[in-house]
Amino acid sequence: MEHISFLFQGVVAVSVLIVWVFRYHNVITEFQQFGYSDVFRNFVGASKIAISTLLLTGIWYAELTPYAATGMAAFMLAAQLSHLRVKNPFTQRLPSLVFLFMSLFIALFHFGVI
């Protein structure tokens, strides 16, 4: 289970970093579709980048991991609600749904629930 958690930490963290750094044009389009402000988009981006960094750091400092994973899960849940609100198709919601479940697994594993 520990290996799965480490794998999930890396996948979630690196994927979120790639989206918010290299695919930022897609983020801009989505946040406009959601009707959110640029300030809010930038807050979410900075927060997700920070949490991704904490997830990666948590590979070596495990005490950071459950809190970072919980924070990422909260953002992914908010993404799901935003996609549902604007009635995006399931394929558009799927990445954040997968990352939500991965983040929950990481958090539950590090909190000792599973």
Query: For residues 47 and 51, what is the distance between their CA atoms, to the nearest angstrom?
Result: 6
Q: What is the pLDDT of residue 70?
A: 98
Q: What is the pLDDT of residues 79-104, one digit of tens each?
A: 999 999 999 999 999 999 999 999 99
Domain that holds residue 87: 2-110
pLDDT digits (tens, 9 = 90+) for 29-62: 999 999 999 999 999 999 999 999 999 999 999 9
pLDDT at residue number 81? 98
**Comparing C-alpha atoms, which of 73, 61, 60, 59 is closest to residue 107?**
73
Structure tokens, 68: 């970072």
Residue 57, judged by CB atoms within 10 A of its CB (0-12, 13-18, 19+), counts as middle
Domain count, the chain: 1
Asked whether 85 and 34 are in contact (CB, 8 A), the reply is: yes
Sorting pLDDT into bands at 50, 70 and 90, what band is 66? very high
Q: How far apart are CA 79 and CA 29, in angstroms?
A: 14
